[in-house]
Amino acid sequence: MALSDPLLPWPPMRRGFLVRSVERLLRPDEYLVGVVFMWSRHRWTMPFAGFAFVGLVAVASSSGIGEWSVCLGLGAVGATVAAVSSTTYRVLAHTTRALVLCRAGRVRQVATGIIERLPDGVTITRVGATIVTSEWVLRDVRYTVPRNFGPAMEAAARR
C-alpha cells in the first residue's frame, strides 16, 4: 500500500527519508497510510529561553566583548539552544493496524524509535490553528503540527 500525495505534500526526497524511517520500524504485516511530524514544548520553554538570552548577553558583555551586536547574537544563539532542548519531537504513523507514536530526531525529520502503539479508542482533537500550524491534543499532550501535515493528522483523527 503506497502513501497518497495529499497526505505528504513534501518534496519526494524529504518525504522519502521520513517514510523510510517509519517503515523500518513497522511490523512486516503493517503498512503505512499516513505520517505526521509534530512537536510539543515544555511549559517553561519561553522563560527558559529568555533567561538563557539574558544570561549570555550579561556574560558576553561582562567578559569584555564591546560590540552589542555580538552580545545580542550570542544571547540569541543561547535562547535558540534552550528552546530546542526543551522541545520534544514526535512522529505519528497511521498504519493499517493502528496509530504508532514514534520518537523523532532533533536535526532531521525522521522517526528514531517506537514509543507505543496507541489503542483503537484514542482520540485526537484539534484545539487551535494558525496560518502555518495547527494544535492537536493526543493523550493529554498538546502537539504543534505544521500545515503540510494537517491533512494526514485529520485523517488519523478520523480513522
Does 99 lie in the same domain as 31? yes
Report pLDDT digits (tens) over 11-68. 566 678 899 999 999 999 999 999 999 999 988 989 999 999 999 999 999 988 878 8
The cell for 46 is: 519561553
CA distance 38 to 109: 9
- How many domains in the chain? 2
What average pLDDT does range 132-149 have in this prediction?
A: 94
Does 51 lie in the same domain as 26? no
**65: containing domain:** 45-85
Does 133 lie in the same domain as 107? yes
Does 149 lie in the same domain as 122? yes
The cell for 43 is: 511549559
Neighbouring-strand partners of residue 114: 102
- Contacts of 13 by beta carbon, 8 Å cutoff, 6+ apart: none
Does 99 lie in the same domain as 69? no
Does 91 lie in the same domain as 17? yes
The cell for 85 is: 532542548
Does 140 lie in the same domain as 64? no
Quote the pTM value: 0.78
Q: What share of the chain in percent tops pLDDT 90?
A: 71
The cell for 78 is: 543561547
